[in-house]
Amino acid sequence: MNTKYETDSMIMRICNRKDAPMVLDFYKRNLEDFAKYEPLSFPSATQLRFHEDVLQYEYDAFIKGQMMRFYLFEKNNPLKIIGTASYRNITGTYYSCCQLGYKMDAKYRRKGYMHEALELGNELMFREMSLHRIEAIVMPDNTPSMKLLEGLGFEQEGLLRDKIYLNGCWQDHYMYAKINREERVFV
């Protein structure tokens, strides 16, 4: 697996500690918006050291084949992060799946960037990691995210009640999955 890929309009790459200032800037620009959909520690998310440590953890997990978080950049601006697409809890053999997570800078939404990134990322998970299944969870009020997943061939499988504690209460999430129909079969 490579650390850098390109699509028609973007660069997708695995970042490391030295990229922490860019990651910090990305979170500072979007902190309030991201907090609606994920548990964030506000004081930590605004500190450089926190992002250095997270990037080191993510890079180590990438080397072990356990996780891949691609940071997204426009080709004409490779120093400003506009989004992330992460594939975590990667397990092989009989489980052969991972969990997908993604977020986009508010100014870059609904322009096709995330669709383009996930199309390539999903292909990499199926082709290079030989996974059978990619899972994603979405809050029931996040219609744009549900449309994105469905447009990529994910199917809604059901409701996970009280899945994540966000904004002071337990929140339900829909489970979506995309199955690799062209994968190898275990015998």
The whole-angstrom separation of Cα 178 and Cα 152 is 8
The string of pLDDT tens digits covering residues 80-129 is 999 999 999 999 888 999 999 999 999 999 999 999 999 999 999 999 99
Residue 168 domain-assigned (yes or no):
no
Partners of residue 98 on adjacent β-strands: 134
Residue 94 lies in a domain: yes
Task: Decide if 140 is inside a domain.
Answer: no
Could you give the percent of the chain with pLDDT greater than 70? 95
pTM of the predicted structure, to 2 decimals = 0.92
Please state whether beta strands 133-138 and 97-104 pair in parallel, antiparallel, or not at all (unpaired): parallel
60's tokens:
């180590």
Q: Is 146 inside any structural domain?
A: no
- Is 185's pLDDT higher than 90? no
Task: Measure Cα distances from 38 to 15, 28, 34, 155 in Å.
Answer: 21, 15, 6, 22
Q: How far is CA 6 from the centre of its chain?
A: 16
pLDDT reading at 3 higher than 70: yes
Q: Please determine, for residue 2, whether its predicted confidence score (pLDDT) is greater than 90.
A: yes
CATH of residue 64: 3.40.630.30
Query: Is residue 49 very low, low, confident or very high in pLDDT (cuts 50, 70, 90)?
Result: very high
Residue 26 binned pLDDT confidence (cut-offs 50, 70, 90): very high
Does any domain span residue 155? no
Domain count of the chain? 1
State which residues form the domain around 65.
4-133
Residue 73 placed within a domain: yes
Is 40 within a domain? yes
Pairing of strands 133-138, 169-179: antiparallel
**175 falls within a domain:** no
Q: What Rg value do the Cα atoms of the chain yield, rounded?
A: 16
- For the residues 23-40, what does the mean pLDDT come to? 86
